[in-house]
Chain A
């Protein structure tokens, strides 16, 4: 659905996007993570044909940037960093304007559908300026969806929202994913990216890494399993570390922390071995590094 090759953007000689090559598949939620000023918004603007790349190519929904810009704008939806609604106009009129500009056939029907879906129908005649930040954000999401785009670019969709509003927006993104839409999600919220994204790309002017959150975690930190023991002894750790699948095993308080390959296959062997060693196992769980740990590791080293 989205494919870029060596996409580059310079502003007055300053590199904003450096040879970005990526592919986002149909129906995928792709998280585009990076610090402020990394070039995420610039990338989104290029991919939505708002600005032109200095070099490289990009194909969005089968249309090439720079050659079919109008077609690209017609078939993608964008939620910009700020909602940018017409505050003096009603919510309904705001959406009607955009439905007309996107050449939607059933303007009234689509406007009603999304106002209802996002819980704004009862406030449709109120000026957008009277809405809370969360409501404006929902209205902006409705605007991005009026023409039923298959690809959605969401730039910081939950930034500045209170937890309740942020959750509503996240739930709505989940719904969109279920509908099979491709979502290109720029976010600073790593927990949100972890929950929503099939794959993530960490970006700081150039693409530092791209994979699923789990694979990145495992690539950086390996997979760790914690065995909560009633009676921990160093001998148990020494015995477990002899197993070929285990990279490391150590006792911390009453917990045995094991770094290993393929826990799904190897955990039963370890449990059996520990029981043979006389361990009383209370719980077994995987120790997951947060996406923040992964992100910080890559950005710090960039």
Chain B
């Protein structure tokens, strides 16, 4: 077993015994899946909503496929709102895990013997990052899969189903999701390298969720609508931003500072 794999397995064995982490990894995706499915279920066959299209933001109705009734367009709109919330998963899960992974080592005083092994800083950070990223990505994919299957069962109209599961969301979930998870992990590693308390680390790491909330409320307020182009641009920006954050987190992870400053 190589060193990165050893760190990943060790992190999982340890971190999943933490109830807060377990809750975040298991229940958050569940909630994010149940809510949009609940909306779809409650709006089934409701024709009174056919007149609401006129009150929806103009840019949004432009993206509502033709041949959909007002009620169906409204379903697309509502579910799209929650799809943005879906993007919280690849941010919240790795933040919780990685906030504990370095500061946790500090509180148990296990970082010094770990750093005394021949592991390089790169191997250690890759191991810790993967340990936080993989569960987040898997949980996001699984939650989206459950949502897709649920939507397929609940919605007989294949056109509506296609609108709900269109390419922009597939790109968001399968490409932007892991990039966001990487961003969350890098921020979390930077924060937890610098603070001494896991709770502080977690709270500070959660700041990465703010841009997603801004997008959620922005779309809700009708300021913009997430389209394929916006998602692709986000992916590109995230690639560049992630590369910068990884560089920064490696630079900030100074073995000596961490060992001598932590009392």
Binding site for B on A (CB under 8 A): 11, 45, 48, 50-52, 70-71, 73-74, 78, 80, 82-89, 93, 97-98, 100-103, 140, 143
Determine the distance from Cα of A82 to Cα of B113 in the docked complex, in whole angstroms: 9
Write out the residue numbers on chain B whose beta carbons fall within 8 Å of the beta carbon of A80. Answer: 109, 112-113, 116
Determine the distance from Cα of A88 to Cα of B17 in the docked complex, in whole angstroms: 7
29 contacts between A and B (CB under 8 A): A11-B260, A50-B116, A50-B256, A50-B259, A51-B256, A52-B256, A70-B118, A71-B118, A73-B116, A73-B117, A78-B113, A80-B109, A80-B116, A84-B108, A84-B109, A84-B112, A84-B114, A86-B14, A88-B17, A89-B10, A89-B14, A93-B13, A97-B6, A97-B10, A100-B1, A100-B2, A100-B3, A102-B118, A103-B118
Determine the distance from Cα of A244 to Cα of B158 in the docked complex, in whole angstroms: 114
CB distance from A14 to the nearest CB of B (A): 11
Among B111, B117, B119, chain A packs the most CB atoms within 10 A around the CB of B117
CB distance from A93 to the nearest CB of B (A): 7
Which residue of the partner chain, among A51, A86, A88, contacts B259 with CB atoms under 8 Å?
Answer: A51
Q: Count B interface residues, CB 8 Å.
A: 25
Determine the distance from Cα of A226 to Cα of B250 in the docked complex, in whole angstroms: 65
* Contact call A140/B113, Cβ cutoff below 8 A: yes
Interface status of B115 (Cβ within 8 A of chain A) = yes
Interface status of B59 (Cβ within 8 A of chain A) = no
Write out the residue numbers on chain A whose beta carbons fall within 8 Å of the beta carbon of B118. Answer: 70-71, 73-74, 101-103
Interface status of B110 (Cβ within 8 A of chain A) = yes
Interface status of B199 (Cβ within 8 A of chain A) = no
Write out the residue numbers on chain B whose beta carbons fall within 8 Å of the beta carbon of A102. Answer: 117-118
Interface status of B51 (Cβ within 8 A of chain A) = no
Given contacts A50-B255, A84-B108, contact A98 B14 (CB under 8 A): no
Write out the residue numbers on chain B whose beta carbons fall within 8 Å of the beta carbon of A97. Answer: 6, 10
